Chain A
Amino acid sequence: MSVSALEAKRLEAVLKGDEEIEVVGTGTDAVAYALMLADVDVTSAYPIRPYGGVMQTVARLIADGYLKAEYIVAAHEHDQFEIVKHASAVGARTFVGSSGVGWLLAIEAIVAISTDRYPVVALIGNRALDDPGAYGVEHNDALMVRDVGWLLTWVDTAQEALDTTLIAYRVAEDPRIMLPVGISMDGAFLTHSEHAFKIPPKSKVQKFLPPYDLGNRKLHPTNVISVAPQVNEDWVTELRRQMDEAMKSAKKVIEEAYRDFAKIFGRDYGNPFIETYMVEDADVVMVGMGTVSKPIKEAVRRLRAKGEKVGFLRIRWFRPFPTEDIIRYLSGVKIVAVVDRDYSFGSPFDGGAVFTEIRSALYEAEHRPLMMNFIGGLGGREITYNDAINMFNIALENARKGKVEQRVIWYGVRE
């Protein structure tokens, strides 16, 4: 995963010239190149797979002189996140990341990053939580922080990983937001697979991404402030309300960022919050996050070829949650089938986290669809297009009957 001689020569071109280049690399490589373009100042690292690939590429970029940044190897993940929190407090653009239990070990610092309002950007290489040991993808690691002021996004290609990293800095550092962003990437399927993607020239990135400015909150001998004193019940409600306001403002800021991104880089993601695929006239819409989009889209194409009205909706931003879009596209659909690569034991209807959120959003829909949930692909198990076709067939059968016989299905579980 290091930068080959070929890439090295091309990197000169994007750093100095105006043209984009195409390279082949992993999803984590793509993030590393984005950090180079965003001129990240400080990154702290602690190895854990599948996030770890990004550390190696960033180290190589620094060693080869393409990125000037402090690279701090932490004693453990809690340190790692504390380091970037403090670096961010003194005005450094920071990058950090982890996976699975590593991410959870840092949870105290992770929460303090958002409550202290530092626009740290983190890569979460999604990985099953221990125990038992499994390196593969599950989304429960990132979902652990869904309520504490982190903006959370799931990408499904290396290109989107690179682009979203640039967008993440722009959104996080916006004075209206000042909240951290967690970019989730499916372990193995995106962190460890190599795809072609384009690296835009740095000159364009500079037009897109203004320098990081903490304003009057920058810790500096000439700007004496005190951060996070003991305030007890007298202040906490107000401080949480500030975060609520920032999170609510995030939709507008994200929209602006994608609009400018499309203008400057010529890559238009359409609706920033969700990706829709053949949903317009669909009777059954499957919903998912991350790389599960790939096999589901293939299943949609194959079923559409047979005349089945099926579609797919991918959630790109989970926080802020795209409630309006979910209602707009899913109101009136016969069956909404959510594929959760996560679990939420004891939740309403014992479904996954995404299912539960979508069901909540659709309470406001004018025509509430019937809802199903597939828990699947846990611990990194594959979901192939045949699996997706099977799921669609169950949903289509329910749609024909007009009722859902089994609301939550543990797909592929061995009896």
Chain B
Amino acid sequence: MRCNYFATKMSVQVPSIYTIEIIYRGIHQRHLARNLARGITYAARMAGSVALSYQRYGDDPERDGSPAKYFVVIAKGASEEVLDAEAARVEPDYVDVTIVLDDSILKGIESWAWQGIQPIHLKIRPGGLLVVVSKRSTDELIKFIPAKDSPYTLVVVYGERSIGDFWTFPDDGTVERILGAIAKVLPNVLNLDDVKRYLESLDKPSERISRAFEAYQSLVKLREVKPGEGLPYKYESPHLPGWKDMMIGAAIPGLKPNQRNPYFTGGTAKHYRPVINFDKCIKCTLCWEYCPDSVFDVTPDGYFNPALAYCKGCGICAEVCPVSDTIIMVDEMEFEDGYGKFIDEYRAWKENRDAYRKWFESLLPKAQVISVRKR
């Protein structure tokens, strides 16, 4: 019995499996990501493939805006058991496609696990696809993406980032547009008929199908990205200590003032970045006291300098600052320096106050009105 069973199994060919990764903003895009993942899964299954999807569990419970992931695994013309190897994973080793639902996450991903800040395309196989929902061109987007050792194709699905309220899903056509885009760039996984078949099974089918079709037709923004093209950021997976090296009881050495945990930065979560006008600062300490993430370092001359790699972009500092236009919150996509790891606002100001003032004034019209109280 046993021998036969294994003999049968071993003669089975291993078919190719397509893996799609969806990267989204925690909480606000959670249901969008799930609906997209399920949509791809349903469409693939209706087309006769086998498919499943799962969330990167370590990202759940999500934090407001933190990058999080969904995965879809598809095998064409195969039986369900072909997916067994992918059925109980934390995350896949490689993906064929990464879909990014918010272009500001292109700067990096930091999940709850101790993996440091990962480049957006870490998992993409050589020659794979990076699909981004954005209103920017591929040439603009490349300025925010770290360089990769292998080539990939950057694809823009034109559109506003779809941000729900807390845990809600704005049924705004994003899912349909991405499905249309997949039909265009990955017809061997899902073609337009497959997408249509799935959308026909939903409510308001003609509206949904026309959105998918629109994206399918208008999608021309492809760009081959060569190895080494992009921001000079090299990802090194963090050192995970062995059991003999760890302190017992999950204790870790604490941080002294102005010291920070290199593994948990969290700065990739921000949509908006605080920019400080040190010329106007009265050193009242409020930003430093109120920042929920202890982002501000105290400078020798008593200013408060945000360690931007740790800033979540909540805007509380801007809200509590008593001097108008002294802390402004600016769209993260205005900055081409990664997620803020390398910029030191205070030092820039010290080095050249005139240049800093001009830079600040150029950002002022772009400042967002963020009212934490209103939320």
Contact = CB atoms under 8 A, between A and B. Distances in A.
A226 interface: yes
Interface in A205-243: 216-217, 224-235, 237-239, 241-242
A234 B240 contact: yes
Nearest to A224: B254
B202 interface: no
A115 B249 CA distance: 6
Interface stretch (B110-118, B293-301, B356-364): B110-118
B69 to A, nearest CB: 14
A260 B139 CA distance: 76
A379 B333 CA distance: 68
B113 A232 contact: yes
Given A233-B58, A234-B113, A227 B243 contact: no
Given A232-B112, A233-B113, A234-B113, A239 B250 contact: yes
B365 interface: no
A129 B341 CA distance: 56
B250 A228 contact: yes
Nearest to B115: A234
Interface string B93-116: 000000000000000000011110
A225 B255 CA distance: 8
Nearest to B58: A232
A113 to B, nearest CB: 10
B253 A242 contact: no
Contact of B243 (A217, A230, A239): A239
B252 interface: yes
Given A241-B243, A242-B246, A225 B251 contact: yes
A224 B250 contact: no
A106 B246 CA distance: 28
Interface residues of B, number: 21
Nearest to A223: B254
B1 interface: no
Contacts of B252: 225-226, 229
Contacts of B242: 238
A212 to B, nearest CB: 15
B115 A117 contact: no
A231 B249 CA distance: 12
Contact of A242 (B58, B113, B114, B248): B248
Given A224-B256, A238-B242, A241-B243, A178 B248 contact: yes
B249 A235 contact: no
Interface in B227-258: 240-243, 246-256
A217 B247 CA distance: 8
B114 A235 contact: yes
A239 B113 contact: no
B272 to A, nearest CB: 25
A242 B256 CA distance: 27
A256 interface: no
Interface string B282-298: 00000000000000000
Contacts of B255: 224
Interface of A: 115-118, 178, 216-217, 224-235, 237-239, 241-242, 245-246
17 contacts: A178-B248, A216-B247, A217-B248, A217-B251, A225-B254, A226-B253, A227-B249, A227-B250, A229-B250, A230-B112, A231-B114, A232-B113, A232-B114, A233-B58, A235-B240, A237-B243, A239-B250
User: Which 8 pairs, one residue from A and one from B, show the smallest C-beta to C-beta distance?
Assistant: A224-B254, A117-B249, A238-B243, A241-B243, A234-B114, A116-B249, A228-B250, A117-B248
